[in-house]
Amino acid sequence: MAAECFQSAISNLQSAIPKMIVGSLRVRLLIRESRSLKDKRQVVRSIKERLRNNYNVSVSEIEAQDHRQLAVFGVAMVCNEAQPIRSTFAEIVQALRCHPVAEFIDHEMEI
């Protein structure tokens, strides 16, 4: 009897806790016109600010910081449903494919 009450209380508690879905996106870009790390930093800073402002995501350069023409970004987003994350990441990928300076190489998405 006590075990049934305990199981019932646990299942009620679990159903009351809202879901938290975390999505991550890894994007690789080539900045052909970059002749120095300073040139690269200007482009990277611009892209990071644009993504943060337009899509309300967290963005960081996660790899190849010492490579003057390669930029690898990690993008994260949290939501209570997976669909808004997928659609936001799809918009980000499309925006980066059309970037005038950085050439889109590839991306990996995980939700």
Give the pLDDT of residue 18: 73
Measure CA 33 to chain center.
25
CA distance 9 to 46: 50
Give the pLDDT of residue 10: 61
CATH of the domain at 83: 3.30.70.1120
Give the pLDDT of residue 31: 95
Give the pLDDT of residue 108: 96
| Domain-embedded: residue 72 | yes
Rg (CA), the chain: 20
pTM here?
A: 0.81
Count of domains observed in the chain: 1
| Domain-embedded: residue 9 | no
| Per-position pLDDT tens, the chain of length 111 | 556 666 666 666 566 677 889 999 999 999 999 999 999 999 999 999 999 999 999 999 999 889 999 999 999 999 999 999 999 999 999 999 999 999 999 999 999
Determine the structural domain holding residue 74 and report its residue range.
19-110
Measure CA 14 to chain center.
28
| Domain-embedded: residue 30 | yes
Beta strand segments in 8-87, E: 21-30, 58-63, 70-79
Give the pLDDT of residue 53: 95
| Domain-embedded: residue 2 | no
Helices 37-55 and 82-97, interaxial angle, to 10°?
140
